[in-house]
Each structure stands twice: as C-alpha cells, then as structure tokens.
C-alpha cells in the first residue's frame, strides 16, 4: 500500500487562529547564531525615561534572532536586562505565537512570563490558552492551560491541564492532571500525558486500541513507544484479551548507513483457550555489502498452527497455509543478477499436515546474464542450482541452465524478435524418490526452444464527440516450437501449471518451474487497441483479444493435468472503458470454442463520487474453481458523515466471505469510525464477528482499533491514491526470483 492517509484539515476554517505578525523576523534557519549571540533591537514611536531605564510607547517592537515581542508600552532596564510590557502584547518565535495582556522577563537570561494568553504552535497545528506561561529559552510552562488542534469556533476536543510543559528543542509537551474533553463532556482523565508538538519521535504512551470479537472477547492494547536512539526505536504493546489472557507484543526498528530492519516478537505465557504458551517472531531487513551485493532476510516463526487464525483479524492474514522464511545474498550489475539463498516453510493451517508444505530450498543459487552483441543481437544465460528438502517426503538436487541468443529487428512501427534457447536440466535424487520415478537417481532433460515474437503498431488521430484521441491498433504474433522430451521420470519439486491468462499467451512454458518444459508447436494471434485522450494522455479505452493455435498435441503433462490437444485454445479477452472521469468498467473473458463453454468471466465497475467517495462492484468466475461477487463502497452523505461497507460472497459455496458495515464522522480536528465485521476465519469456513471503534484526535493521535487498515484492504479506493498504484504483473518475476520461462 501507499503511505498512511494524510490528515484531512479541509473542514477547518481558513487561516491561522493567531495570524503571523508582520513585524516578526523570519524563523531561525540552520547555521544562524544562537539567540544569546544576537543583538536586541528595540523600536517604538516615543521614548522617555533614562538611558538605563528607558520607557518606549506606541508600536513597540523588540526583536532578537527569531524572537519578536510587540506591545503598546515597554519598560526596560538595560543594565540588568529586565523588561515589562503591557497592552496588546504579541510574542512569536520559531515554535509558538502568543497574544496576551502582559509580559515581563529578562532578555539576558531569556526568561519570560506572559499572562492571560492565547497561543498557537507554528510548526504543527495546535492552539489553546493559559492563565500564564513562563518561557525559559526553548522551555515553556503553562498554568491552567488548554490544548487542541480544533479551531476555537469548532472546539470538538480539548486537553485541559493544570500545567503543560512545552520543550521546543525536543519537540514535545507534557500535561499534568489533564482532562481530555469531547465537546463539554469530560472523556478521559490522565495524571501525566506526553504529546508531540512537531513530527519528531518521543518516548511515551501511544493511544490504546480497543475492540470486541467473538474469538478473543474484550481486546485492549496499550502501545508504549521507546525512542532509544536517533537510528533505532522500539514499541512495546501489552495486550489483554478477556477470553485468552495477557500477551506482550513488540516491534524493534533499526536503521544505519548500510541497511535497516524490523523485528516483531510476541509472547503469551498461557492462552486460556488453548492451554499453552503462544508466540511469534518476525524479522525483515537488509544490509548493503557493496555497490553490487546486498544481504536480505525475511524470517518468520509461530508457536503453533492456530496462531495466525487466532491473532490475525484480516482475511488476507488467515488465508495463507504456511509461513515462508528466506535469507540470502543478492547481486546486480550492468548485465547480470545473481543470488544465493535459503528458504524454509512452516505450516500455519491446522487443517493441513506438513505433507502439504512446499519443498524447502536449502540452498538455492542462481545467476542471470544478458548482454548485447552489437546492434541487433542479445546473448544470455539463466542458470540455477538448488537442493530441495522436505520433512515428510524424499528430496534431491536440481541443476537448470538455459543459454539463449535473441535478435532485435524492427522499426518505429514494427518488430520481429526471434530467440533460440537450449535448456538442460539434471537431477540428483534421493533413493526413495528415484524408486517412485523409475529408479534413475540422475535423470536429465535437454531440448532446444525456439520462439518468434512479432508485432506492428498502427495509430491515427480520431475524434469522439468533441474530444480528440489517438487510436491505436496493435496486432501481435508469437510462435513457440519445442520438441517433445519424455519427463515422467523427473520429480515435481516446485512446478505447477500456470492458470491460463493473457500473459500465458506469450510464454515459452506453461509451467511455473523447471521440472517440466512443455513441448509445443503453436502460434498465438493477438490484437490490442487503445483510445488515448490527446489532451492529457489518459486511456479512454483498451481492449485485447488473443488465442493460441496448437498445430500438434502437447504430450507433456503434470499429474492430474489434461493434455493439450491439437486445435485452438480458449479465446482470451480483456477490456477497460472509462465512461468518464468518474465511471470505469472492466471485463475479462475466456471462451473455449472446442467445448463451447465459458472458462472465465470477470466483470468490474468503479464509480468515484465527488470528494473521497467510491463504489466497486465485481464478479469473478473460473470454471471448477470459484464464483464470487464483491460489492464495497465509501459513500459521503455530506462533508461530515459517510458510510462504508463491503459484501464479499462465494456464490459457488453459497457462503459469506466477509461483510463490513460502518459509519464515519469527520470534522476539522476529530474523526470517529465505527465498524461491524463478519468474516471467514479459517479454511473450514467458520465465521467470526468483531466490532471496532476508533477516535482520531487529529494532530494528537487515535484511540481504538486500526479501522483504516481494515477499510483500505476491503475498499479499493478508500484512500484515493491507492487507485493509482501500479500492481505487480502476474507474469513478471520478483527481482529476487529466477524464472527461465519469461521471454527475454
């Protein structure tokens, strides 16, 4: 996802609570001399008194560094530095702006006492009042004071305290004997409360999270933030669940010049529902070894197979059957990438056994090299060596290498790219595995692979209504030839058939790994067209259709897979149409002409209401696998009230997958969200219920459950910027991955 959604101050009245003073000097800049090293300048309309005790009246302005003091009258003692100002007192420095009735202090010691004040923070939205404030350099102490980020005309929340200490250098304030009031109602009493006045990190209590669920009961979390050093910190999160007991969760973050990392750990001494200790450990980090090499690790461990189900309340968090851990070193250069890593899996689904886990790769080494040979040719080689290990099944080792040479022939509107590759794969198998596959402990496969990728690009200017567009027509041909090699004696370590899709039309293997290489004599014919708005380059329409023509039967199959017979594949079609800047429609469709049946259908629609509103409707069908409908929305009733919801349903199973209903109330400085949720909690389809509340005191923090995370996952476009993120392609490998089946 994108970064956290920024705070919305759009409902606040325009302008500052206390406007900047025109006579004030600019804020302090890095490298400026300290205040006590800068001269004090006094101006006014009239002066009386003596040289040592002058009295200045009328438009008085006293400046030193970033400090400004304006008043109607000021009396000073130039020898001691004492002063007293009365009438229309205005004070401003880099951190605070004040209006008051009276001010007195000493310029030499930088101590000031200002009475009957109203103040506003300069670098952070925040304002309030106090009986008096005593400023000692960057330190300020306010008596009988208030603090809020609300405008005084919309004082929805306010922190009232007998005393508030503010440290501008450290960037925090401390309130003592404070009462948080929502409107005129006392909401929370806190004997000691620390809060930020800028964006720097500070040690202290964060706002608690409170929720209710049928799985955990009353759930209370109290984060404690520890700012240990400029480059590392920790958050402790004691969590009490009425049905389970006490858990301690934690997050440790570190950062240094050559890398960074995050460690998450949780421990529950005894779960009352499971009658056992529970725990979790996660680590993610990297270290830059030099300009070419980097060490990376993503490690995970949980105490038992029910941990994810019990303590993750997101649908995405409970759908995984295993936890993956990887660690290795990875390199990249001008013409190469390489890596050496280890990978291990832990079961996280109690309905399965360890036999369902993928093979661990302990270790895996790969290298990819590609370099131009002159103007028209590229040469490269992709190679991998890996040892597969499993706790329940025999394993072995595999070496896979694929050198190739490719030509780049083309012009501005056409291209022809032939590629010739040779793939060699060999194994060293455990005896038990070899016996099940025919007895050969060292099977191998070797075969050539030829592809030809050709296409053209036509475009023309056209007009639809009163709008000018660029209309394109993009035909494409892709030919693949690979001879048959018998592969029944090869194991299946990490290989499966790809789900048939648009990307599969242009691959040289229909399998995801090296254990199977399809034999093929086939031609893909595809056509794409687009309408691109000339004014801003936005795509009005895109449509694509394609099909594979199989000239021969494909004899290579994986267990349980039907062979590909001579003839035609299903038609693959995909389209998107922007009706206007608010309406967008999309559809994907696959039709198999041989069996006259629908293999896939997907329809999606999105409407953007003015402001932040959005509604998404989707339907997905894949033959023999799923049929689902999804409806979700964020509807702004007015600038203050909005409702949110989701209904995600499996038609094929006649079962609810997730339902969300909630209401949001927003204002200048306060937002409240309330959600009710019902969702699938495990593979057996058991449902769970939860209620979540969150109070967002803008500029101060939030109390309650993290409802924004739930809503951003459930409603695409809840944070409007999420709509413009580029999703990863389902045919493009991860930068760390090795996939020799991608066409170079």
Identify the pLDDT of residue 477. 97
Tell me if 169 is assigned to some domain. yes
Q: Is the pLDDT of residue 610 over 60?
A: yes
E strands, 579-686, are 583-592, 597-608, 614-622, 626-636, 641-650, 655-666, 670-680
Which among 520, 382, 394, 511 is positioned nearest to 452, based on CA atoms? 520
Tell me if 86 is assigned to some domain. yes
Tell me if 146 is assigned to some domain. yes
Identify the pLDDT of residue 651. 93
**Residue-wise pLDDT tens digits, 45-59:** 888 888 788 888 888
How many domains does the chain divide into? 1
Tell me if 134 is assigned to some domain. yes
- Mean local confidence (pLDDT), 318-325: 75
Q: Is the pLDDT of residue 736 over 50?
A: no
Tell me if 87 is assigned to some domain. yes
Question: Is residue 199 very low, low, confident or very high in pLDDT (cuts 50, 70, 90)?
Answer: low
Tell me if 634 is assigned to some domain. no
Question: Is residue 531 very low, low, confident or very high in pLDDT (cuts 50, 70, 90)?
Answer: very high
Identify the pLDDT of residue 14. 64
Burial of 334 (0-12, 13-18, 19+ CB in 10 A): exposed
**Residue-wise pLDDT tens digits, 14-26:** 667 888 888 777 7
- Mean local confidence (pLDDT), 434-450: 93
Domain that holds residue 81: 35-200
Identify the pLDDT of residue 313. 46
Identify the pLDDT of residue 735. 40
Compute the residue count for the chain. 744
494-530 burial string, b = 16+ CB within 10 Å, else e? bbebeebebebbbbbbbbbbbbbbbbbbbbbebebbb
Identify the pLDDT of residue 316. 39
Identify the pLDDT of residue 317. 37
- Mean local confidence (pLDDT), 623-639: 91
Residue 185 belongs to domain with CATH number:
2.60.450.10
Tell me if 376 is assigned to some domain. no
Q: Is the pLDDT of residue 67 over 70?
A: yes
The span from the CA of 743 to the CA of 291, in Å, is: 28
Cβ atoms of 137 and 127 within 8 Å: the answer is no
Q: Is the pLDDT of residue 366 over 60?
A: yes
Q: Is the pLDDT of residue 423 over 90?
A: yes
> Could you tell me if residue 712 is left (phi over 0), alpha (psi between -120 and 50 degrees) or otherwise beta?
alpha
Identify the pLDDT of residue 315. 38
One DSSP character per residue, 683-743 reads TT--EEEEEEEEEEETTTEEEE--HHHHHHHHSTTSSGGGGGS-PPPTTSPPTT---TTS-
- Mean local confidence (pLDDT), 497-502: 89
Identify the pLDDT of residue 616. 96
Helices then strands, counting H and E runs in the chain, come out as 4, 44
Tell me if 117 is assigned to some domain. yes
Q: Is the pLDDT of residue 263 over 80?
A: yes
Q: Is the pLDDT of residue 639 over 50?
A: yes
- In the beta sheet, which residues pair with residue 614? 608, 634
3-state secondary structure 162-185: EEEEEECCCCEEEEEEEEEEECCE
Question: Is residue 5 very low, low, confident or very high in pLDDT (cuts 50, 70, 90)?
Answer: low
Among 154-163, 284-293, 438-447, 512-521, name the one with the lowest average pLDDT.
Answer: 154-163
Return the higher-pLDDT residue of 121 and 84: 84
What is the rounded radius of gyration, in angstroms, for the C-alpha atoms of the chain? 34
Q: Strands 157-167 and 204-205, how do they pair?
A: unpaired
């Amino acid at each position: 996802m994108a970064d956290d959604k920024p705070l919305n101050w759009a409902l606040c009245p325009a302008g500052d609570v206390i406007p900047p003073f025109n006579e004030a000097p600019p804020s302090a800049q890095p490298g400026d001399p300290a205040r006590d090293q800068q001269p004090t300048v006094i101006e006014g309309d009239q002066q009386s008194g003596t040289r040592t005790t002058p009295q200045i009246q009328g438009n008085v302005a006293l400046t030193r560094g970033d400090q400004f003091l304006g008043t109607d009258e000021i009396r000073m003692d130039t020898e001691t530095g004492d002063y007293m100002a009365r009438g229309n007192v205005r004070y401003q420095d880099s951190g605070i702006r004040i209006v008051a009735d009276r001010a007195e202090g000493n310029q030499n010691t930088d101590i000031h006492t200002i009475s009957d004040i109203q103040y506003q923070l300069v670098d952070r939205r925040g304002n309030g009042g106090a009986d008096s404030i005593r400023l000692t350099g960057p330190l300020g102490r306010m008596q009988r004071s208030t603090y809020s980020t609300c405008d005084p005309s919309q004082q929805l929340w306010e922190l009232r305290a007998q005393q508030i200490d503010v440290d501008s250098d450290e960037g925090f304030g401390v309130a003592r004997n404070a009462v948080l009031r929502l409107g005129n109602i006392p909401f929370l009493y806190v004997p000691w409360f620390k809060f930020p006045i800028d964006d720097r990190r500070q040690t202290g209590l964060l706002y608690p999270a409170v929720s209710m669920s049928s799985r955990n009961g009353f759930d209370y979390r109290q984060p404690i933030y520890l700012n240990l050093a400029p480059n590392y910190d920790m958050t402790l999160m004691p969590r009490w669940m009425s049905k389970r007991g006490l858990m301690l969760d934690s997050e440790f973050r570190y950062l240094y010049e050559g890398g960074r990392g995050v460690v998450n750990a949780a421990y529950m001494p005894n779960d009352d529902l499971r009658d056992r200790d529970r725990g979790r450990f996660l680590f993610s980090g990297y270290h830059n070894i030099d300009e070419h090499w980097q060490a990376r690790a993503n490690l995970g461990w949980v105490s038992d197979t029910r941990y994810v189900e019990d303590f993750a309340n997101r649908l995405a968090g409970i759908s995984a059957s295993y936890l993956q851990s990887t660690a290795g070193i990875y390199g990249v250069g001008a013409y190469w990438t390489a890596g050496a890593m280890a990978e291990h899996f832990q079961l996280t689904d109690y309905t399965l056994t360890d036999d369902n886990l993928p093979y661990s790769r302990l270790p895996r080494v790969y290298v990819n090299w590609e370099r131009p040979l002159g103007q028209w040719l590229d040469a490269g080689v992709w190679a991998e060596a890996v040892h597969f290990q499993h706790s329940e099944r025999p394993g072995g080792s595999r070496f896979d290498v694929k050198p190739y040479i490719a030509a780049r022939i083309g012009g501005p509107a056409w291209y022809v790219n032939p590629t010739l590759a040779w793939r060699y794969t060999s194994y060293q198998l455990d005896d038990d595995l070899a016996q099940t596959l025919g007895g050969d402990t060292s099977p191998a496969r070797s075969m050539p692979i030829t592809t030809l990728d050709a296409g053209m690009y036509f475009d023309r200017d056209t007009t639809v209504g009163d709008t000018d567009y660029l209309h394109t027509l993009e035909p494409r041909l892709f030919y693949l030839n690979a001879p048959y090699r018998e592969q029944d004696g090869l194991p299946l370590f990490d290989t499966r058939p790809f789900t048939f899709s648009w990307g599969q039309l242009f691959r040289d293997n229909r399998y995801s790994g090296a254990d199977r290489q399809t034999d093929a004599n086939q031609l893909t014919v595809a056509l794409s067209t687009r309408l691109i708005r000339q004014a801003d380059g936005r795509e009005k329409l895109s449509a694509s259709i394609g099909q594979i023509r199989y000239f021969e039967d494909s004899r290579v199959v994986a267990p349980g897979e039907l062979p590909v017979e001579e003839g035609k594949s299903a038609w693959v079609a995909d389209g998107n149409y922007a009706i206007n800047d608010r309406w967008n429609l999309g559809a994907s469709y696959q039709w198999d002409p041989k069996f006259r049946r629908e293999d896939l259908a997907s329809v999606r629609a999105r409407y953007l209401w003015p402001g932040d509103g959005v509604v998404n409707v989707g339907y997905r069908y894949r033959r023999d696998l799923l049929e689902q409908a999804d409806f979700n929305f964020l509807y702004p009733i007015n600038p203050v009230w909005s409702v949110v919801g989701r209904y995600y349903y499996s038609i094929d199973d006649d079962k609810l997958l997730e339902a969300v209903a909630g209401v949001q109330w927003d204002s200048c400085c306060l937002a409240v969200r309330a959600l009710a949720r019902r969702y699938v909690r495990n593979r057996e389809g058991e449902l769970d219920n939860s209620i979540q509340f969150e109070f967002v005191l803008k500029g101060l923090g939030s109390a309650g459950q993290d409802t924004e995370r739930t809503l951003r996952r459930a409603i695409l476009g809840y944070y409007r910027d999420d709509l413009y993120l580029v999703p990863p392609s389902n045919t493009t490998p991860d930068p760390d991955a090795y996939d020799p089946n991608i066409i170079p």
